[in-house]
Structure 1
Amino acid sequence: MEFDYFIGDGNSYSNSNTMRPKNRVLDSLQRALNQAENDFLYMVEQEMEDRPDIVSVGSCVLVGLIHGKDLYIMNLGDSRAVLAMDDDENTIDESKGLKAVQLTDSHTADDEAERNRVLGEHPDDPKTIVHGKVKGKLKVTRAFGVGYLKKKVLNDALMGILRVPNLISPPYVSVQPSLYMHEVSSSDHFVILASDGLFDFFSNDEAVKLVHSYISAKPYGDPAKYLLEQLVLKAACSAGFSAEELMSVPAGRRRKYHDDVTVIVIILGTNKRTSKATTCI
């Protein structure tokens, strides 16, 4: 089976008549992100004198939009969208499982293409990436906010060791999203949207397998909550705890064992619905 989805990096789209309406949706998503970014950084500049820590506030971005039969994805950072679809060889016997297809790029300094892009944009700064992080501070190379890595005036608002030294050629972190469009078909079962903490413990294939087995047994259950329950079990096992012991760890200290995680599972097809769960630590 051919898997055909549109990929763009926010700056080049197809000019075909069939793609133009879809391009407009992608353009609208990007414009909304850019407007939100501009508004947020403007607010940061207005308030940074009283709240200097606000210049470091930021987030990865993952947006999923279903319009008709089209699934649109926009991402910044290392959150993931993973589509579960029939394997070409197993379209009849579902007991053999589904194929996991990642619909997002990983915008981190660990990714060779991203690392080379960032280094290429700052040829005169030998400390662009330090210890696998942008300016030694941030693992992701694209993000919303984090103004101190985008504008010198915002970095200067930080005091002492919090300030990034030698901010030679900002911005160092991009707000240019990766954009995707996929036409949903009968072979597509569900989409997992999740922050990177989920994938610290599960591969794409493992996450799809867990959701598939769960909704096969409980068609109207809560697969997102189930995924997080499995994450807590695995994190507890890795730490030598029971799940109950891990959950009793105070919220501020639990980050040592697992990241805060948000998961959304969108069930496709005739039983279309959405399941969402979050861990707060």
Structure 2
Amino acid sequence: MGGCVSISSQSNCSSRSNGEKISPSCLWVDMFQRKRSRRTFSDHATTLQHLSSVPNRIFTNGRSTSSCIFTQQGRKGINQDAMIVWEDFMTDDVTFCGIFDGHGPHGHLVARKVRDTLPLKLSSFMNSAESKKNRSNANCCNGDMKSDVVDPVVKDTSVDSLWREAFLKSYKSMDKELRSHPNLDCFCSGSTAVTLVKQGSNLFMGYIGDSRAILGSKDSNDSMVAIQLTVDLKPDLPREAERIKRCKGRVFALQDEPEVQRVWLPFDDAPGLAMARAFGDFCLKEYGVISIPEFSHRILTDRDKFVVLASDGVWDVLSNEEVVEIVSSVATRASAARTVVESAAREWKSKYPTSKMDDCAVVCLFLDGKMDSESDYEEQGFSSATIQSNHSGNIAVEESDDGQNSEPCLQRNYTVRSSDQENDHYNRVGVDVEDCGISEDQNWSGLEGVTRVNSLVQLPRFSSSEERPRP
């Protein structure tokens, strides 16, 4: 889960039927007009209160029509990982997947809040873009390509740009909502996010933090290979470190874990965040930690078989290739996510016997849309009631957000360093980001307690009445 540490005790279109060419934006509007005749997301729910009754939305251990998900609590306290698969998201052929890894005292609450709210924001922004396209391209789609009526707000009409804008806006809105949430202290708590939308043969991805998505695909020799779809956004990436340092944040590793670069306040050795982007963590938003996602778009082929999303508890001990091998060799698809988590648990015991296992969460999305029969599913240890519950969206298992029975503990975090290849890939792919994160006034509040994991016992305390020390 990549948490924080504090050592402050030491330092204070194709074409029409008649052959006429039409623009990609016309195809986009036409797609939504066709889908209107079918069930859409807005027919099910528009608020968080309705989510429990939304069909084809799963967030607990189980399976859906084309996916399986599984999470297991580590040995560091309450499980701070959250996950979701939402089939028929917005329209019948769209699937939303996400993994959210919380950190800090309230990280589990942040992760679940993002899990529930971010998909709604993404849908809302896409529906808004759709409405604009309907207005600005009505004449275009009726065959009038010379119309002078253009919505000045809509500058780029490609589907890729629409999804990019929707991801950027929804992530920004999500972080803003966390900042103003009256009952959720995100000052030194936050969450990663790796989110994916599959629409036909298109994968649209937005992500922050060090959770990861990979693709299992067949090469020219018909052998399964692993393709990394996202980049672990950690402080050891040159561009991330440069931005943080420009904003007066500090980046360095502790002596007992030199492989883990962390982000620190300019005037105190806290909180030691092991990622460069995250939701929440507002104590660092003035110092280079941002919530602006990386965005990428991939067109799938017949060789692409499945996508795996997982929190860093999995990637800390299993390689991309190992995960692809596990998923491609399971007896039944419904057991794939659980098998990956169980394999990660064994590796934690083997590789780090003196360290407490991190929380693990896995989503396996099979791109051909097929799963096992119910009889095969039951053979893997899941009841028919679980199948019915998850498939209908009526989840029988409720999560506890009170954080009781959770005790902070001290231990080392093992975070896999990014390879040179990943760094090179990161330097080639990316979006422009704001230099120093937030621009709103920051209200500093007192802190008590300890961060989630990888923590020492004390965090810095600030008061709105006290003058903040200079860097």
Q: Deviations over 1:41-92 (max 9, x none)?
A: 012xx45xxx7x541120001111111211111100111000111123x13x
What residue is the counterpart of 2:280 in the other structure?
Answer: 145
Task: Give distance in 2, aligned partners of 1:110 and 1:207.
Answer: 24
Higher RCO structure (Cα 8 Å, ≥6 apart) = 2
CA contact (8 A) 1:266 1:272 kept: no
Aligned partner of 1:258 in structure 2 is 357
Where do residues 87-236 of structure 1 align in structure 2 (5 Å cutoff)? Answer: 87-88=219-220, 90-91=221-222, 97-119=223-245, 121-122=246-247, 125=248, 128-131=250-253, 132-135=261-264, 136=270, 137-150=272-285, 170-214=286-330, 217-218=331-332, 220-236=333-349
**Corresponding letter in the other structure for 1:238:** K
Which has the larger helix fraction? 1
Write out per-residue CA displacement over residues 91-138 of structure 1, whole angstroms, 9 at most, x where no aligned residue: 3xxxxx31111111121112233223322x23xx3x621322111510
1:76 aligns with 2:208: yes
Instruction: Indicate the RMSD between aligned Cα atoms, in angstroms.
Output: 2.8
Aligned to 1:269: 368
CA contact (8 A) 1:55 1:146 kept: yes
Residue aligning to 2:191: 59
| Counterpart secondary structure, 1:36 | helix
Q: Distance in 1 between matches of 2:369 and 2:283?
A: 46
Partner of 1:86: 218
In structure 1, give the amino acid aligned to 2:187.
V
Query: How many residue pairs get matched?
Result: 209
Decide whether the 8 Å contact of 2:334 with 2:371 is kept in 1.
Answer: no
In structure 1, the gaps of 5 or more residues are 1-15, 92-96, 151-169, 242-255
Q: Take 2:204 and 2:232, find their aligned partners in 1: how far apart are those partners? A: 17
The one-letter code sitting in structure 1 at the alignment partner of 2:252 is V
Which AA in structure 1 matches 2:162?
R
Q: Unmatched 5+ residue regions in structure 2?
A: 1-154, 254-260, 265-269, 373-386, 391-405, 407-471
Q: Distance in 1 between matches of 2:212 and 2:305?
A: 17
Contact 2:172 2:291 in 1 (8 A): yes
* Residues 1:25 and 2:163 aligned together: yes
- The one-letter amino acid of 1:212's match is S
TM-score (norm 1): 0.67
Larger Rg: 2
Cα separation, partners in 2 of 1:175 and 1:267, compared to 1, 3 Å: same
Q: Distance in 2 between matches of 1:26 and 1:62?
A: 14
Q: What is the aligned-residue identity percentage?
A: 25
1:271 deviates by 1.9
